[in-house]
Chain A
Amino acid sequence: MSPAPIRAVAIGASAGAVQALQTILPALPADYRLPVLVVVHVPSDRDNQLAPLLRAQCAVPVREAVDKEPVAAGVIYFAPSDYHLLVETEETLALSADETVNYSRPSIDVLFESAADAYGDGLVGVILTGANHDGAAGLKAIADAGGQVIVEDPGGAYASAMPLAALAACPNATTMNLDAIASYLASLGAP
């Protein structure tokens, strides 16, 4: 049986996210064919500066997610600060002002669980550096739905708690360093 075609990438990161994403996202080619959904924990009263910062460095367009917009291929979407980002089953984006999850809004679990529902085995979930446990349950939901799961190698991560929690929840996840994740994701969506 050949693996299901991948239709979307979901990435979660916390402490150390800026550097990690600066390794991965600029490696994606301009004609990238997958949507990339990103949740990063940022202080709620600060505007998300990450999207503008990465926009300048990426070949793929970088946008802040807008409620009810259809998910477009070849776009990197960031969750706005203080809103959860979800994917509806008809593959549109949704924002919500629900309670924090794992003390976080946006929460990685919320994105991953909804994206697992929307994309099933057509999703790749990636957990990067971070100092908390958000994303572990979400990564497991992706694996349970048949999607691919990748965790940054905790040994090399800026903060290992989040990768370790993700591995505890998904022992069969593939661990890779940032450069390997970058080239793997780039190859997945190359035309």
Chain B
Amino acid sequence: MPDAIVDLEIQLLLEALFQRYHYDFRHYARASIKRRLVLARDQLGFGSISAMQEQVLHDPALLPRLLGYLTVQVSEMFRDPSYFRALREKVLPHLRTYPSLKVWIAGCSEGEELYSLAILFREEGLYERTLFYATDINPDALSAAEAGVYSLDRIRKFTENHQKSGGKSSLSDYYTADYGRAVFDKTLRERVVFSDHSLVTDAVFAEMHLISCRNVMIYFDRLLQDRAIGLFRDSLARKAFLGLGSKESLRFSTHAAAFSDFVPEEKIYQRREP
């Protein structure tokens, strides 16, 4: 089938998903979306993307499966250990001066980044004074994050990352192994609010001291990136911190002037005084 038709079908499907279900992928980076929708079409056995659109319009049961393709659930605990080391060594000393803290993990996927931060804050004695918000648009990912259960074969990498990040305890202190799964300690989520929140369509909900949003905006076009960064600017207390993924930056944002570089090589920024 000529590519121009597939591109048109994708455009129409994204419009349908927005109008019918208010999931807005219309301004996501298109090449990656296309790859994943073509995969969905083939793996779910549809003859065309239009056929997939017809079914999802009438049958909401297809929606979660499509969301599984449209959102990317690739994560790791302490992914990019040097980022977590920079938080530990450079950001937490500032946060320590506050009596109470709010931390937002935006696009938390299945919770890997959340548990990494919860463990980091516990190791540094800040957990008890912190409230964590873990948000995502994929309901299945959010339930997995709330469960905090990972396949044991991922733990080796998580442990190695944790050590490289300057971990002061052993990762095994925080989970119990059970039938091939690692079940993370529920006290790690005592102070966590899980919620459905989209950086594309939803608004500010609290004033934060640290926002960690990694490998989410890379999927947005410039327009959406700017919206999300505006949301972060408006959600951060003065002199609070924003951490992005290793290939993301504020360089092209119209809101760049509201932030200063804090640890540039780790993409950690600080909100300037308004």
Contact = CB atoms under 8 A, between A and B. Distances in A.
A88 B74 contact: no
Interface stretch (A109-117, A160-168, A169-177): A109-117
B31 A94 contact: yes
Given A89-B30, A114-B35, A117-B34, A95 B247 contact: yes
Interface string B2-35: 0100010000000000000000000001111011
Contacts of B248: 67
Interface string A81-122: 001101111000011111100000000001001100110000
B11 to A, nearest CB: 12
Contact of A97 (B34, B221, B245): B245
B215 interface: yes
Contacts of A135: none
B30 A96 contact: no
A118 B29 CA distance: 13
Contact of A98 (B30, B74, B252): B74
Interface residues of B, number: 20
A80 interface: yes
Contacts of B31: 86-89, 94, 114, 117-118
Given A67-B247, A95-B218, A95-B247, A113 B74 contact: no
Nearest to A88: B31
B219 interface: yes
Given A67-B248, A113-B35, A97 B218 contact: yes
A83 B247 contact: yes
B159 to A, nearest CB: 14
Given A67-B218, A67-B247, A96 B72 contact: yes
Interface string B222-258: 1000000000000000000000010110001000000
B29 A96 contact: yes
A99 to B, nearest CB: 6
A118 B35 CA distance: 13
A8 B30 CA distance: 20
7 contacts: A67-B247, A67-B248, A86-B32, A95-B218, A96-B32, A96-B72, A97-B245
Interface of B: 3, 7, 29-32, 34-36, 72, 74, 215, 218-219, 221-222, 245, 247-248, 252
Given A84-B32, A86-B35, 13 more contacts: A66-B247, A68-B221, A80-B247, A83-B247, A86-B31, A88-B29, A88-B30, A89-B31, A97-B72, A97-B218, A114-B35, A117-B31, A118-B31
